[in-house]
Amino acid sequence: MSTILAYDLGASSGRALLGRLTDRSIVTEELHRFPNDPVQVGDRLQWDILRLYHEIKQGLIKTKHRGIELQSLGIDSWAVDFGLLAANGELLANPYHYRDRHTEGVMERVFAEEIGREELFARTGIQFLPFNTAFQLAAMKRAGSPLLREADRFLMIPDLLRYFLTGEKLSEFSNATTTQLYNPLQGAWDAELLARLGLPAAWFGQVVQPGTAAGSLLRSVSGELGVDAIPVIAVAEHDTGSAVAAVPTRERSFAYLSCGTWSLMGTEVDVPVLGERALAYNFTNEGGVGGTFRLLKNIMGLWIVQELKREWERQGLDYSFPQLVRLADQAPAFSAWIDPDDPLFLAAGDMRVRVRDSCSRTGQKPPEQPGEVVRCVLESLALKYRYVLELTESLSGRQFGGLHMVGGGIQNELLCQWSANAIGKPVWAGPAEGSAIGNLAVQWIAQGVFADIWEARRTIRDSFPVRTYEPQNSTAWAEAYDRFKTLTGLG
């Protein structure tokens, strides 16, 4: 029996998932779950990184109390955010949250003053989002941040937490590619790009592939916690990279949707797609397992619903997510839509007002009741999934027989069914803990338990249930899709 631990850190919560492999079947158990709430300090929105490190320790203490001997552990998280270390190895400050407003307008200034859109995409293959790491660092530089004067090393969130555990300062490939500072054709940080942005190349260390051994727990850490010097593996540390590793597909050519706070849709390719159409469609090429790339597009995802729920809670309306889904199912169909990727919905705030404003601007009757608002968002997501799936097929030159959905969002069965309705093809939903399971899979590949990702995917397919959603009401949804594109300007 091989027993390992996956830490999967999302934008709202984190979990430690125990994985056991027996008779070629994976058994998982949630060992520890904890909130991951950003903290507003003055004008800055930051991550409480030391609290996350504390929770990682709690997971290890729980394994000790259970008498569990771990063969390894790995950490995955969201992308783009980072910490800066001083020359003495200490963290200079809490990392900024990607939704902090300090990047507003910076992307456009970088295009005007340092490097144009076309060249930046040709160098990195990464889609343009205002909170990308490159623009966060450019924002700090323009603001004269003293952190940049003191910085000696750059580490992304999983790299940073792994450094706290092991003392090893390594950058992992799947997350490094999301920074818009890594050149996939060179297979390294882009030194010329760093120079043009005024960023010291010495900050950016060795990039290692998923499955690389990245040290063991420091003696100080294992002594404090009373555990062994457990090996730590650099998994696919971008949580989407881990989620795609867990897609239980039989086909070498497949489309996936990692569904949670963000929705990320695309396919797996051997080389990045850097042409004019990829730039025009604002697609991205992020690193994957086994030297692959994830040709995908970010979609706003369930963030809007999460913010709606928070706003209603502040008003004293304590809806659960299942309640909101039921109310949405009972609301009138095809009444109003939004483009979920309108920048209007990026920052935290009153999404109910923003949804209504968006509908008013496009000549639609704004939704009033909570169920109507949530239905508007969920229908819009399903229709946007069809739009992005068609772009993915066009860019990749492939036709997909259906869509694999993984991640916590698949617990929203209504969204899964509406997604199948919208794309007019089957949706295969599962596993829900995709990122954590992909994290486990890469650790077992590193240990030689699995020969490669395809053997791991076969075992995942045999170990976890996958629910199939067949499309329904195809004519009505096809008509809705045409109207959706016209109203949102996507047509």
33 and 73, same domain (yes or no): yes
Is residue 281 situated within a structural domain?
A: yes
Residue 100 has pLDDT above 80, yes or no: yes
Q: What is the largest CA-CA distance in the chain?
A: 64
Given a cut of 80, whether residue 1 has pLDDT beyond it is no
Q: With respect to residue 441, please indicate whether it lies within any of the assigned structural domains.
A: no
Mean pLDDT across the chain: 97
Same domain, yes or no: 96 and 183: yes
How many CB atoms are closer than 10 A to CB 130? 18
Residue 242 inside a domain? The answer is no
**How many domains, the chain?**
2
Residue 466 within a domain: yes
Q: Which residues contact 305 (CB under 8 A, 6 or more apart)?
A: 321, 324, 374, 377, 378
Considering the domain architecture, whether residues 226 and 261 belong to the same structural domain is answered as no
In percent, the amount of the chain with pLDDT more than 90 equals 98
Residues 38 and 146 in one domain: yes
Residue range 50-68, pLDDT digits in tens: 999 999 999 999 999 999 9
Q: Which of 171, 200, 234 represents a domain boundary (last residue)?
A: 234
Mean pLDDT of the 319-323 span: 97
Q: Describe the crossing of helices 321-330 and 370-396 by its angle, rounded to 10 degrees.
A: 90
User: Which CATH number does the domain housing residue 351 bear?
Assistant: 3.30.420.40
Look up the pTM and report it. Answer: 0.95
Banded model confidence at residue 486, pLDDT cuts 50, 70, 90: very high
Which two structure tokens, joined as six digits, stand for 134? 């490159």
Picking from 176, 206, 234, the residue at the C-terminal end of a domain is: 234
For the packed helices 453-463 and 434-447, what is the interaxial angle rounded to 10 degrees?
Answer: 130
At 231-265, the pLDDT tens digits run 999 999 999 999 999 999 999 999 999 999 999 99
Last-in-domain residue among 182, 203, 234:
234
Q: Indicate if 228 and 328 belong to the same structural domain.
A: no
pLDDT at 464: 96
What values do phi and psi take at 385, rounded to 5? -60, -40
Is pLDDT of 310 > 90? yes
Q: In terms of domains, do 317 and 388 share one?
A: yes
| Cα angle value 61/65/70 (rounded, 5°) | 70
- 455/401 same-domain check: yes
Give the residue numbers spanning the domain of 347: 248-430+451-491
Are 307 and 340 found together in one domain?
Answer: yes
- The answer to whether residues 92 and 30 belong to one domain is yes
Q: Which is nearest to 97 in space by CA: 55, 148, 37?
A: 37
pLDDT category at 491 given cuts 50, 70, 90 is confident
Over residues 385-396, the mean pLDDT reads 98
At 428-480, the pLDDT tens digits run 999 999 999 999 999 999 999 999 999 999 999 999 999 999 999 999 999 99
| Total length of the chain | 491
Q: What is residue 24's predicted lDDT score, i.e. its pLDDT?
A: 78
Of 239, 318, 357, 482, catalytic: 239
Same domain flag for 359 and 253:
yes
One domain for residues 360 and 317: yes
Q: Residue 379 pLDDT more than 80?
A: yes
Is residue 442 a part of any domain in this protein? no
Three-state SS sequence of the chain: CEEEEEEEECCCEEEEEEEEEECCEEEEEEEEEEECCCEEECCEEECCHHHHHHHHHHHHHHHHHCCCCCCCEEEEECCCCEEEECCCCCECCCCECCCCHHHCCHHHHHHHHCCCHHHHHHHHCCCCCCCCHHHHHHHHHHCCCHHHHHCCEEEEHHHHHHHHHHCCCCEEHHHHHHHCCEECCCCEECHHHHHHCCCCHHHCCCEECCCEEEEECCHHHHHHHCCCCCEEEECCCEHHHHHHHCCCCCCCCCEEEEECCCEEEEEEECCCCCCHHHHHCCCEEEECHHHCEEEEEEECCCHHHHHHHHHHHHCCCCCCHHHHHHHHHHCCCCCCCCCCCCHHHCCCCCHHHHHHHHHHHCCCCCCCCHHHHHHHHHHHHHHHHHHHHHHHHHHHCCCCCCEEEECHHHHCHHHHHHHHHHHCCCEEECCCCHHHHHHHHHHHHHHCCCCCHHHHHHHHHHHCCCEEECCCCHHHHHHHHHHHHHHHCCC
| Domain annotation covers residue 198 | yes
Residues facing 15 on adjacent strands: 8, 33
Residue 490 CB contacts under 8 Å (≥ 6 apart), including other chains: 339, 387, 484
Is residue 439 situated within a structural domain? no
* Strands across the sheet containing 13-22: 25-35, 13-22, 2-9, 73-76, 231-234, 212-216
In the structure, what pLDDT confidence band is assigned to residue 154 with cuts at 50, 70 and 90?
very high
Model confidence at 49, in pLDDT bands (50, 70, 90)? very high
Regarding whether 269 and 167 lie in a shared domain, the answer is no
- Angle, CA 118 vertex, CA 112 and CA 121 arms, to 5°: 110
239 is catalytic: yes
pLDDT band of 292, cuts 50, 70, 90 = very high
160 phi/psi in degrees, rounded to 5? -65, -45
Residue 393 inside a domain? The answer is yes
